Amino acid sequence: MGHLVYDSSLRIDFNDRMLAHLQVAFAVKLHSNESFQFSWRQDRDGDGGRGSIWIHPHISILYRFTDRLKPTLNPRWIEALVRSADTPEGMSALPEPSALSTAADPPAAP
């Protein structure tokens, strides 16, 4: 289980595969100097919690991976994450699109 550390103080746990895709999606938006909201589920102990932060180009982000091997990236997942950042709700930690869905299919709700 890897984690994202935001602004040197907030640690958010994600599996390495999700974290690798978030890293690229964040880079796409931040490279264009865009800020956006990012939301995720914190369903620990079945509490159904969630979190949300404002991602800004001038705030540091550390991606800490547990596995030293990089996962193969799914371009469709990255595209879905980047598209979600342009919605009023902001980017969400969406599940990976299945191989059977088409590019026109929206990703499943988190």
Number of domains in the chain: 1
pLDDT at residue 26, rounded to an integer: 98
32 phi, psi to nearest 5 deg: -90, 10
Residue 7 lies in a domain: yes
Range of the domain at 75: 2-92
Q: What is the pLDDT along the chain (110 residues), one digit of tens a residue?
A: 889 999 888 999 999 999 999 999 999 999 999 999 999 987 666 567 889 999 999 999 999 999 999 999 999 999 999 999 999 999 999 999 985 554 445 554 44
Q: Is residue 101 part of a domain?
A: no
Q: Is residue 98 part of a domain?
A: no
Which tokens hold the place of 105? Answer: 């299919």
CB 65 within 8 A of CB 5: no
pLDDT of residue 110: 46
Give residues with Cβ within 8 angstroms of 20, minimum separation 6: 63, 65, 70, 71, 73
The confidence score (pLDDT) of residue 47 equals 67
Cβ proximity of 16 and 67 under 8 Å: yes
Residue 84 included in any domain: yes
Instruction: Determine, yes or no, domain membership for 97.
Output: no
Whether the full predicted model's pTM is greater than 0.85, yes or no, is no
Is residue 5 within 8 Å of 64, Cβ to Cβ?
A: yes
